[in-house]
Amino acid sequence: MGENKEEKEDEKEKGKEEEKTQEEKTEKEIEEKQDEKLNEYGQMTLDAGREKQKIHLLSIIGEVEGHENAPGSSKTTKYDHVLPSLAAIEDNEEVQGLLVLLNTSGGDVDAGLAIAEMIASLSVPTVSLVLGGSHSIGVPLAVSADYSFIVPTGTMMIHPVRMTGMVIGASQTYEYFEMIQDRILSFISGHANIGYEQVKSLMLNTKMLTRDLGTVLVGKEAVEQGLIDEVGGIREALRKLRSMIGGQGERR
């Protein structure tokens, strides 16, 4: 009888050890997947806070890549990676909010607007944070969130649409340029505290950039112009998003 009891206890201990080993293995696999997702797509899930809220982190860095691949040496954000991720966020009941980190030089207009429209249409609270810079098509991306922040040294550049490759010298070409710019201006004025004509005047400013049209706004200037809601860093951005998730913050 004593031997049977000892055998049962040994089996019980062995089962506990196997269960613990399996849990550690599962945790390690989850961590490896998160690391892989961060390295490959610049995305991860934040869920270690005191409130245990599940926040998806999306970073938009370098050049926003469209239908054509950028040079291999360029740091890029691929819209064909980002769009499915945003759709998955909307479909996932566990994800409670989205934090977008921006440090981009701009890129493909259609790709940038596609991402911006997706962020703007999410049902979960969203907050953006401009770090370094959010230039060109990065401006619509920054204002697409429900609430936006910019660090004191962050910059935003608004300038007319540029095109590479062959351009046909006809009136229709300039009309097409204006149509693209109208899409950008309409989105910005529709998602920020700034009017259409005001954004247009910043875009066509001839006094700041010596070899180009446009305006560069640094930190507080972007807030004063109505593009960004507040000057702040990661602490303020996360605090705001958590309050919005908790129902304390207003969404635009």
pLDDT at residue 29 is higher than 60: no
pLDDT at 28: 52
State what percent of residues in the chain have pLDDT above 70. 70
Is 73 an active-site residue?
no
What 3-state DSSP class applies to 192?
A: coil
Task: Answer for the pair 138, 102: CB distance below 8 angstroms, yes or no.
Answer: yes
C-alpha–C-alpha distance, residues 252 and 242, integer Å? 16
Highest-confidence segment of 16-30, 36-50, 117-131: 117-131
Q: Is the dihedral of CA 175, 179, 181, 185 positive or negative?
A: positive
Mean pLDDT on 115-135: 94
- Report whether pLDDT(231) > 90: yes
Q: For residues 53 and 154, which has the higher predicted lDDT (pLDDT)?
A: 154
User: Looking at residue 5, what is its pLDDT?
Assistant: 59
Confidence category of residue 12, pLDDT binned at 50, 70, 90? low
Choosing from 136, 144, 148, 189, which is the catalytic residue?
136
Q: What is the pLDDT of residue 252?
A: 57
What letter would DSSP give residue 37? H
Average pLDDT over residues 78-89: 88
Q: With 80 as the cut, is the pLDDT of residue 243 above it? A: yes
pLDDT of residue 59: 92
Least confident of 1-5, 63-67, 213-217: 1-5
pLDDT at 139 over 80: yes
Is 135 in the active site?
no
Please tell me which residue in 135, 159, 189, 191 is annotated as part of the active site: 159
Note the pLDDT of residue 178. 82
Contact by Cβ (8 Å): 165, 184: no
Question: Are the C-beta atoms of 243 and 249 separated by less than 8 Å?
Answer: yes
pTM of the model: 0.77
Mean pLDDT, rounded, of the chain: 81
> Would you give the distance in Å from CA 97 to the centre of its chain?
12
Predicted pLDDT of residue 237: 95
Q: Of residues 11 and 137, which shows the higher confidence score?
A: 137
Structure-model confidence comparison of residues 202 and 168, the more confident one: 202
Continuous H helices in 134-170: 138-143
